[in-house]
Structure 1
Amino acid sequence: MMKRIWMVSVLAVAGCGKLEQVGRAPEFSDLSGSNQHYAMSAAELPEDSAPQRETVASSLWSAGDDALFGDRRAAGRGDILTVVIEMNDSASVTNSTGRNRSGQQSSGLPDFLGIPQRINEALPDGASMDEAYAAKSSSTFKGSGSVNRSEKLTLRIAATVIDELPNGVLRIEGQQEVRVNFELRELIVTGYVRPSDISRQNEITYDKIAGARISYGGRGQITDMQQPTYGQQVADIVMPF
């Protein structure tokens, strides 16, 4: 009884959350407490640990990031770089298995000091110790399966360096939200990159991101219509058939 009450309470709370969005567009996620906000607003590193970029006052060459030929690639916490996601993957797998096995076994006692003959006299008509038992078995199994998958995705997103590991690897995180009418499209990218893999255009492809986590989805009325209701989802989990 308590489990039923708890389940009804959970469904009621979830339903109330959806009812609050009736007639309203999905809200954007707040970035004020995110890792990106912290990385950009954190205190700068001490001057002695920063790379030396001083130039002679009379020199016409400037080695800073704002120079014409300066290195504008992301190198530390709070820097921004572009992640290029271009997926065009396809896979096709087909498997088939067949198995067939049969067996036959019999045993009897036709002659042993005349004992079987005496036993046969006491047995019903048609029964004999000549073949005490016989067994046959057979099994057949066939299975087949196929998987066809095709994925194509082309996206670009600005990510922020939120941490620099002791070995120089950069941890990045990017979040992008686009709202069109009452549908919110969300793209999230996280992972680890090497500074040397960042191109001169301050870009990096997704296949060079270690531990990449890429999420592309949406929130809104269209997404809700594509999902089964809460009652149906609970029924699919609880029902054994």
Structure 2
Amino acid sequence: MHRILSFLYVLFLAGCQSLGDVGKAPEFTETRGSLEYSSMMSPGFPAQLTPTQRRDAASLWSAERQSLLGDRRALRRGDILTVVIEIDEKAEISNTTSRKRTGKTSMGIPSFFGLPQRANEKLPIGANMADAVETNSATSHSGNGSVRRNEKLTLRVAATVVDVLQNGVFAIEGSQEVRVNFEIRELLVSGYVRPEDISRQNQITYDKIASARISYGGRGQITQVLQPAYGQQINDIILPF
């Protein structure tokens, strides 16, 4: 009984939390204190300049990032780069299987040292050992299966280099939130990229991100309407039929 009351209390709190959002737009996620914010606040130690770099620091043709021809790609913790997500995938699979099997077995003992004749005397009328056993069997199976999928997604998001691993690979994370009326569309991306895969425009495509995690969803009134009610979700979990 105590467990049931506790469960009902949790459901009541969840319902109160939803009722408290009535008439209010969903709040943005706070950026201060996030891993991206921490990476920008402490980008690490600055790179030591070589004597050649010090000589060329004031030159118009210097290779420094601030110069006209400098490399402005993300190079260290706290730098920002653009992730281009262009997913246009199609998959179609079709399988057909068919199987058929027929079997027939017949066995009889017309004579065996006179024993079948003696056995026939004790068998019921119409039964004899000449046609002792006869079986027939037939099985068939057929199956059909198909999968068809079509996905298309085109997005761009700014990500931050949150860490530089020992092998020089960058760990990146990026988030983007857009609020339209009472609905927030949220885009999250994370993964690992090689510095040499970043283009001169400081961009990288999603297919060059290792362990890529891309999430595109939302929260707000429309998302709540699309979700089944709490009671229906509980019934789907508990009821076996």
Question: TM over 0.5: same fold?
Answer: yes
Is the 2:77–2:163 Cα contact (8 Å) retained in structure 1?
A: yes
Is the 2:28–2:177 Cα contact (8 Å) retained in structure 1?
A: yes
> How far is 1:235 from its partner?
2.4
Match of 1:138 in 2: 138
Match of 1:21 in 2: 21
SS at match of 1:54: helix
The two structures, once aligned, show a CA RMSD in angstroms of 2.2
The equivalences for 1:71-90 within 5 A come to 71-90=71-90
Match of 2:193 in 1: 193
* Residues 51 and 131 of structure 1, relative CA distance in 2, 3 Å threshold: farther
CA distance, structure 2, for counterparts of residue 2 and residue 109 of structure 1: 74
> How far is 1:127 from its partner?
2.1
* Residues 109 and 90 of structure 1, relative CA distance in 2, 3 Å threshold: same
Match of 2:41 in 1: 41
Percent sequence identity over matched residues? Answer: 57
Match of 1:213 in 2: 213
Query: Runs of 5+ in structure 2 lacking a partner?
Result: none
1:11 aligned onto 2:7: no
The equivalences for 1:1-241 within 5 A come to 4-5=4-5, 7-42=7-42, 44-45=44-45, 47=46, 49-50=47-48, 52=50, 53-55=53-55, 59-241=59-241
> How far is 1:230 from its partner?
2.5
- What TM-score comes out, normalization by structure 1 length? 0.89
Number of residue-to-residue matches in the alignment:
239
Deviations 1:209-233 (A, max 9, x none): 1111111011111112222222222
> How far is 1:75 from its partner?
0.5
CA distance, structure 2, for counterparts of residue 58 and residue 67 of structure 1: 9
CA distance, structure 1, for counterparts of residue 120 and residue 2 of structure 2: 68
* Residues 231 and 104 of structure 1, relative CA distance in 2, 3 Å threshold: farther
SS at match of 1:228: coil
Aligned residue type for 1:200: R
CA distance, structure 1, for counterparts of residue 216 and residue 223 of structure 2: 12
> How far is 1:28 from its partner?
1.4
